[in-house]
Amino acid sequence: MSEPEPLHPHIISNKEIGRRLVTLRKALSRDTGQDWSQRDVARHLNMSQNMVLRAERGHGTMVCLIRMLGFYRIFRFNVDWVLAPDNKDIPMWLDEGEIDQKLEKITALKSFIQGMGL
């Protein structure tokens, strides 16, 4: 059964997220000079190859997607590029300044939450 396309233009389809995950894996292979197969990604994430395959086809679980995005983030891939419905103006890679800004925001949010006793 095929997934219906989203009715709202600001929602990305699971299938498109899967295609972008494939693009990230292939870009990682190209840029590191190491072949990153689905099996390699799965091994680094302590998941099965089938879980990576399903995610890349748009049928992965939320947990699998989050783990894969975290993995690619280590290599400075931009999660916004994966999740934005229209990503043509969003860079695939984060530069060092963007990473520092996001870390500052995360640290501030963490301090705020801890200050509230949550």
> What Rg do the C-alpha atoms of the chain give, in angstroms?
16
pLDDT tens per residue across span 3-34 = 555 556 678 999 999 999 999 999 999 988 99
Angle between helices 62-74 and 38-45 (to 10 degrees): 100
For residue 3, give the DSSP letter. Answer: P
Q: What angle do CA 27, 44, 29 make, to 5 degrees?
A: 15
Per domain, the residue ranges of the chain are: 14-93
Quote the CA–CA distance of 53 and 61 in Å, as a whole number.
11
Tell me if 54 sits within 8 A of 64, measured CB to CB: yes
Owner of token pair 């990230």: 24
- Please, which residues bridge with residue 77 across strands? 93
* 1 has pLDDT over 60: no
pLDDT, tens only, 66-116: 999 999 998 989 999 999 999 999 999 887 766 666 667 667 777 777 777
What pLDDT does residue 115 have?
A: 79
Q: What is the CATH number of domain 14-93?
A: 1.10.260
